[in-house]
Structure 1
């Protein structure tokens, strides 16, 4: 069941995971992700994943798997499967995810053992990161106006012993402002022609292309909104590039899931910053560089 659960508005407090399960907020007692490869309906922020982070209305959330349940360390790469694949699917469909958080995650006090339902969030980004030299999935979720509390404000209120803040009523707090002139400049430079497949789409209003940021804007990537960090792409290549199917190597060769696809067309006056392409390639690689490592001990629960 996706979306809100009647009778349990954002700010509802639960004594434990069982109570949240019985209410239908997070329908699993142990796992941090409740969902399948077709879609994830909810996540739970709990102790243990140091990469999980809250900044105002944004949550950076680590996927499941590859973790030794005894030591807490990663012993294998995570995979796009089950709930991880479900979060990617939610990102593609723009489907909201319920977020439940252990109070200790919000306050930093281990003794705070209850759980707070924060409301509905959208997955705005996903990429690959690294933990203990193994690949992990990182998802960015953003609070939905009218349907959620702002996690950062909840944390402050709990630490100060105040009442929980009201439902979020404003537009996106952490939306990175984009300069439309910068986006227009890269599209003009290439005459709305894709730098990868060389397609120029034509509509009744003229030709069409999209400006794609190489190093993504916003948390946790913090890419700049400058020409050196932009490509002019058709919608298909843009979707594949943002979805980590396409990467570009240091020689300007474009690969689709590791197979050569094309040479990136770059005009001399377009001074691309190769470090941004390197960064994009790094967050798009799903396998760690460790060779001969033993990856037999894995945990499928967070």
Structure 2
């Protein structure tokens, strides 16, 4: 079994100096420095740089959330983020990890939520957007992860968490799932915006890590129970819209009957949470069948403020709206805006 040099040295130090305990891995670098120190304990290191691991989704053995790396190269060698430059390590069929860098001011952290902007379209010198981002490669891979519920590893530069430019090490935050994606505007260009949520028990809460780092405390690299700041949905709202339409889809007018009775789903028009911050009330929810719900969330189906249904940008009927619904058509306009680039991409392919 291969063990990373830094935790090995930390434990070895604690064995030699039981009164002082295990050494903090933040007090030293890995690589040659750790190798020279381990030799004094009679431990010889071997290099595994020549062994290139394949595509790995999910956790990396012997690398728990809270592991600190001195730079991107160490994170690369550990298999946490297999690129030393790009913010996304992935392909069109799936993304394995992302890295939050202080060069991207659009990224936000709120409790256990991360808002992450996709790659591409930026000027390397100014950081400003000079072109539309494309739903391709790692950007598309994050959407595939969203559809499959597949987790993404998240690496963060300390300065992103603490807002202190001098903090240059990287912290592995653990596993996150993509809970939402859509389009936004930056500098007049379209960008992809993703929302990721910490996986309880398999991740650290970013803002709690930020607080510890700002205080100069160590980030404990141990798995623990997570206390998360989740959005509490009002399920009475979904139940109300289903009753209002007798479980009939407002888009295709299908009413599904199962052995347990009629079935439909409540679909939020403007997504909840950052960066969209849609309300959880009747004016921001539709009654849809599972198929239309998936197409609506996947930005294939949109509804214009006049009720016209668009399927990949082409008219496909009118939305059924009950007089008692009180639908806010501004939310429909917002959903059409964040879906527009998806429709153009599908029509051009």
Q: Could you tell me the TM-score, scaled by structure 2's length?
A: 0.80
* Residue aligning to 1:181: 236
**Within 5 A, what are the aligned runs for 1:240-259?**
240-259=295-314
In structure 2, distance between residues paired with 1:116 and 1:269:
50
**Within 5 A, what are the aligned runs for 1:226-245?**
226-245=281-300
In structure 1, distance between residues paired with 2:262 and 2:68:
52
In structure 1, distance between residues paired with 2:224 and 2:142:
23
* Residue aligning to 2:322: 267
In structure 2, distance between residues paired with 1:180 and 1:106:
34
In structure 2, distance between residues paired with 1:191 and 1:23:
54
* Residue aligning to 1:149: 204
In structure 1, distance between residues paired with 2:322 and 2:66:
53
Between the two structures, name the one with larger relative contact order (CA 8 Å, sep ≥ 6): 1
In structure 2, distance between residues paired with 1:239 and 1:67:
31
In structure 1, distance between residues paired with 2:326 and 2:318:
16
Moved more, 226-235 or 178-187: 178-187
Which structure features the higher share of helix residues? Answer: 2
In structure 2, distance between residues paired with 1:48 and 1:170:
29
**Within 5 A, what are the aligned runs for 1:107-256?**
107-164=162-219, 167-170=223-226, 173-256=228-311
* Residue aligning to 1:290: none
In structure 2, distance between residues paired with 1:210 and 1:34:
34
* Residue aligning to 1:35: 90
Is 1:187–1:209's contact at 8 Å kept on the other side of the alignment? yes
Render the CA deviation track for 1:48-100: whole Å, top value 9, x for unaligned: 11110111111110000111112211111111100000000000000010001
CA RMSD of aligned residues (A): 1.3
Match status 1:81 vs 2:122: no
In structure 1, distance between residues paired with 2:65 and 2:235:
35
Instruction: Give the greater-gyration-radius structure (CA).
Output: 2
How far off is 1:18 after superposition?
0.8
Unmatched tracts of structure 1, length 5 or more: 288-302
Q: Could you tell me the TM-score, scaled by structure 1's length?
A: 0.92
